[in-house]
Amino acid sequence: MSPRTNTAAAAGTWRLGDLTVNRVGFGAMRLTGTAPFDHGVPRDREQSIGVLRRAVELGVNHIDTAAFYFSATRSANELINRALAPYPEDLVIATKVWPGRDPSGAWWWAAPEQLRGQVEENLRQLGRDHLDVVNLRVPPSRRTGSIGEHFAALAELRDAGLIRHLGVSNVTCEQLAEARAIAPVVCVQNPYGIGASDADRALLRRCGELGIAFVPFFAIAGPGREAGPAPGDSEEIRAVARAHGATPAQVRLAWTLRQGPHVLAIPGTGDPDHLVQNVAAGALRLSEEEMARLTAAPPQTQVGTRPSA
């Protein structure tokens, strides 16, 4: 590898427990193909490996992944292992459990006693003896229910040394409080971006009060979610992008990072040029007037979702 340039540090750093990460990270979902969860066109393997290595060269030291990030011929975890092992000492890899997919790609949801198997699957694929961060990804059907039994099962795996730190994903403020009563929580990973709801904003603020990292996903994709950025960014976003000679995606990321010093970004891509643009967004500084205009922009209509979302 060529010498690292710490471009990803332009937006500053935050701590996940005792681990310090640059606020601009990388999401691995799109490494596996143009349709990450389907039998779409697979990414070129060497290109995906090159993107991961380039991300690290640019200073990315926080990668978000999952064992269920795979397409017909690609596995995100295995690509990460191939590209980056032996891993840099400062690299933090976060994964998530509760949802799973069988070899055919069909979704299933783990019972508490099955979470150990999901954790061990991630360990095998990544070639690790322990996982830095494991997020409990809450299914849509449990958005108003208890997550205590599942989170307690992960806390036991943390005590056993298989996991270093715990997080939660797709949760409410009440579920965050429930989890924190069981074991320390270092991050909350929820959908968030321009047009976020009042409830989403309240959770982001609560994380800031508690000193917990808030890690939004779909910050670029917005309502497009797994399908990628929806066409037709608002005129507010396009105008700010033009003013800065930036892309709408970069404006979305810059706006998200301005929501608080505890907010991390994990934009994902399999395209080397998009990677460079995403990392560079950490250095984009929006004015207070631009922030206000973007915050007031009407939300876009959400398109299709996946069972894991």
Instruction: Of 38-52, 106-120, 152-166, 250-264, give the lowest mean pLDDT range.
Output: 38-52
Q: What is the pLDDT of residue 105?
A: 92
Using alpha carbons, select from 192, 195, 220 the residue that is nearest to residue 207.
Answer: 192
Instruction: Of 13-17, 64-68, 196-200, give the lowest mean pLDDT range.
Output: 196-200
d(CA 218, CA 98): 19
- Residue 163 — left, alpha, or beta (φ > 0 → left; ψ -120 to 50 → alpha)? beta
Q: What is the pLDDT of residue 96?
A: 98
Instruction: Please give the single-letter amino acid code of residue 228.
Output: G
Give me the residue label for tokens 């299914």.
139
Is the per-residue pLDDT at 14 higher than 90? yes
Q: What is the mean pLDDT of residues 266-285?
A: 96
The domain 13-232+262-271: what is its CATH number?
3.20.20.100
Q: What is the pLDDT of residue 7?
A: 87
Tokens standing for 127? Answer: 């070639």
Q: What is the pLDDT of residue 219?
A: 83
Is the per-residue pLDDT at 283 higher than 60? yes
Is the per-residue pLDDT at 192 higher than 90? yes
Using alpha carbons, select from 42, 36, 97, 94 the residue that is nearest to residue 225.
Answer: 36
Q: What is the pLDDT of residue 6?
A: 55
Percent of the chain at pLDDT exceeding 90 = 80
Instruction: Please give the single-letter amino acid code of residue 207.
Output: C
Q: What is the pLDDT of residue 3?
A: 41
Averaged pLDDT score across all residues of the chain = 91
Q: What is the pLDDT of residue 304?
A: 41
pLDDT tens digits for range 56-78: 999 999 999 999 999 989 999 99
> Mind giving me the DSSP string for 188-250?
EE-B--TT--HHHHHHHHHHHHHT-EE--BSTTTGGGGGG-SPS---HHHHHHHHHHT--HHH
Instruction: Of 93-97, 106-110, 139-143, give the lowest mean pLDDT range.
Output: 139-143
192 catalytic residue (yes or no): no
Active-site position among 14, 69, 87, 217: 69
Is the per-residue pLDDT at 41 higher than 50? yes
Helix (H), strand (E) at residue 114: none
Is the per-residue pLDDT at 223 higher than 60? no
Q: What is the pLDDT of residue 306?
A: 53
Distance of CA 112 to the CA centre of its chain: 23
- Alpha-carbon Rg for the chain, nearest whole angstrom, is 18
> Domain extents for the chain?
13-232+262-271
Is the per-residue pLDDT at 128 higher than 80? yes
